[in-house]
Each structure stands twice: as structure tokens, then as C-alpha cells.
Structure 1
Amino acid sequence: MGLNEAPLMFNFEVESSENLKFIPMVVRFNLDRFGLRISLEQWQMLPHEDRALLARFPVDDDTAIEPNFDHALFEMLRTHANVEPEWFTPEDNPAWRNTAVVPETVLNQAELADLAAPSAAQWAQLEPFQRYVLAKLSRKAASNHDFLPAMKEFGLAG
């Protein structure tokens, strides 16, 4: 599978990422998928072209399909920041993969945003990457400013 023609970003991210100043969800997904962690400072050390390239990698959940994200990231960070990303062990079965149950963190985030939580049927109909995004935006107990725009974009809020 090849790279996307352009960075893969949701409408709600375009403004909040400030032209890739912040790490877009597609890159966060691939970092989590490969078990890599980088800081915002390290991300911002990369030239814009490299950040845009990393945001073009696909969001398939199978690391065997596109094994070059991690290699590209390592090379870019070595070249431009003289650092390497941290490794961690990815979750075997993160909550967003379960199509039958809306994660508790998403329910909590919906409550914080004064929104009706997605039903199990709505959750099941979302694309895997959309479920990942909502779960990622819900991981902290505080309200996330991107959660409501994401819910609207995914057709879950008016």
C-alpha cells in the first residue's frame, strides 16, 4: 500500500494543527501502531516537508502492510534532530478496536462536552480510524477542545 496523495487530516484538525505545527491524528495513529513516542518539540524540529510526508502514511491497522513509517521517522529524527523516538509496547487490544462497546473514556468525554454519547450501533458503524481518533481525544479526564468538532465531523453530533 502506498502513501496518500496528501496529508490525511480531518477537517477539525486542519485549523488546530496549524499547518502541521502539532502532531496530526494520522501520525499519532502510526506512532501508537508501531509503539513509538516522540515529543512535540521533536516533531517541530522536522522540516515541514517531512512532517507532511509522515502525515501521508496510511492508517491501516496492519503494520505489515506499511512497514516504512517507523524507518522514515527514525531517519528524519536522526537527520534533523539527532534523536531517536522512544519505544513502547503497543496495546494488544485497545478499546477503540471493540466495535460492540463504546469506551468509557468516550462516554465521559461526551458528558464533559454536553453531548449525547454515541450508541453502540453508531460506534460500530464508524471507521476504525474514526474510533481511534475519538478514543485518543478522550484519553484524559479533562475536556478536549477537538472532541466536539470530531463528533460533528463523524456525524455523531449536530
Structure 2
Amino acid sequence: MVQNCDRGLDDSDFFQFEADFVESLRCIPMQVRLKLDTCGVKLKLEHWNRFSQAEREQLARLPCGDRASTLTYTAYVQALVHRVQGAPASTLAVDPHPPWHNDSDIPEQVQARAASLGVKIDPEQWRSLRPLQRFALIKLSRPSHENRNFYPALVEFGLVPL
């Protein structure tokens, strides 16, 4: 089920560093987190875990890239949350220019986290990443995140020399 993270990576693929939970989908995978940020829905892990396996798989499969698919995705997520909690999920402002779409500026938090591990990401490497990969590094480098998968992500994305 886990697919390699190469140039052919689709934004509905899973990363190797997510392999420990992909089969059960007990955690929200990065590709779903990207879709949630795209549509502005704040999904709690407790809600995610109350969805059926089929519903979680559907959230991973459904597209959320253009306006129509984003509206459909939002409606589906909100219907699921409403069913499990009796009210829709909270919403977040959607950034019209999210940093993972910017392939020329490496966010400071990503640079700092990489540097703390002795890794330097150069601009050419950042440009070579797909938006989902940049999204993952941004999320994994946040101070509020556990950061356990940041280094494995760097390795998987080819940013650490072997």
C-alpha cells in the first residue's frame, strides 16, 4: 500500500515514513492532512478514529485539487464529522498561497529543523520536491509536532546523502 516517494508521486500516495500506520490508517496521513488544509477543515484525530476504515480510505482516495473537487471533499468530510459528533468540524482560513506551493523559498522552520540534524537543504533540492513532500517537511518541522518523522522524510525525499 505504501508507494515510493519519487518524481511520479501522486498527492494520493503514502510516504514510507508513514508505513507503521498506513494499513490501519490509525493516524491521519500527510496526503489527507494536505487535503484538509486545502479545504480549510480542522479534523481532530478523535473524529478520524471514529470514521470507518472505508471512510478513511475514501478520504485518502478522493481528489482535492481544483475548486469542484475541493468543494466535494469539504462536504464529504463535514458530513462524516457531523455524523460522529453531531456538529460540523471547525474551519480554518485557507491560505491562497501556501508555503508548500512556493518552490523557491525554504521556510525558516524547515531549515532550522534540518540544520539541527546536521542537514542543509539547498534551493535546488527544495525545488525538486513535489508540493506534498514540501507540505510534509513543513508540518513535520513545526515546533508543536513530535518531529520523529522529519529525518526519515529527509532520507526518503533524497535530501540526506547516503
Q: Same fold (TM over 0.5)?
A: yes
Instruction: Name the residue aligned to 2:34.
Output: 29
- Structure 1 partner of 2:62: 57
SS where residue 117 of structure 1 aligns?
coil
Deviation, 1:17, is: 5.0
Task: Check whether the contact 1:33–1:90 (CA below 8 A) recurs between aligned residues.
Answer: yes
Note if contact 2:17-2:153 (Cα within 8 Å) is conserved in structure 1: yes
CA drift of 1:23 comes to: 0.7
Instruction: Work out whether 1:109 is the aligned partner of 2:108.
Output: no
**Contact conserved, 1:9 with 1:26, CA < 8 A, in 2?**
yes
Structure 1 pair 73/141, CA: closer, same or farther in 2 (3 Å)?
closer
Q: How far apart are the structure 1 equivalents of 2:146 and 2:84?
A: 34
- Pick the aligned partner of 2:124 from 121, 129, 134: 121
Q: Is the 8 A contact 1:106 1:117 kept in 2?
A: no
Partners of 2:42 and 2:147 in 1: how far apart?
A: 20
Q: Which residue of 1 aligns with 2:141?
A: 138
Distance 1:102 1:108 in 2: 10
Gaps of 5+ in 2: 1-11
Aligned-pair identity (%): 33
**What residue is the counterpart of 1:3 in the other structure?**
none
34 and 141 in structure 1: CA distance in 2 versus 1, 3 angstrom threshold: closer
Consecutive aligned runs of 4 or more in structure 1 exceeding 6 Å deviation = none
User: How far apart are the structure 2 equivalents of 1:75 and 1:69?
Assistant: 10
The total of aligned residue pairs comes to 150
User: TM-score if structure 2 supplies the norm length?
Assistant: 0.82
1:37-68: CA deviation from partner (whole Å, max 9, x where unpaired): 011111111111101110112363x3345431
Partner SS state of residue 54, structure 2: helix
Superposed counterparts of 1:88-99, under 5 Å: 88-99=92-103
Name the amino acid aligned to 1:73: V
Q: 1:75 to 1:142 in 2, by over 3 A?
A: closer
The answer as to 2:53 corresponding to 1:48 is yes
Cα distance in 1 for partners of 2:158, 2:100 equals 17
Is the CA contact (8 Å cut-off) linking 2:38 and 2:70 kept in structure 1? no
TM-score (norm 1): 0.84
The answer on 1:20 being equivalent to 2:19 is no
**Are the counterparts in 2 of residues 37 and 87 from structure 1 also a CA contact under 8 Å?**
yes
Instruction: Supply the distance in 1 between the matched residues of 2:136 and 2:71 (Cα, whole angstroms).
Output: 21
Q: Match for 1:83: what amino acid?
A: A
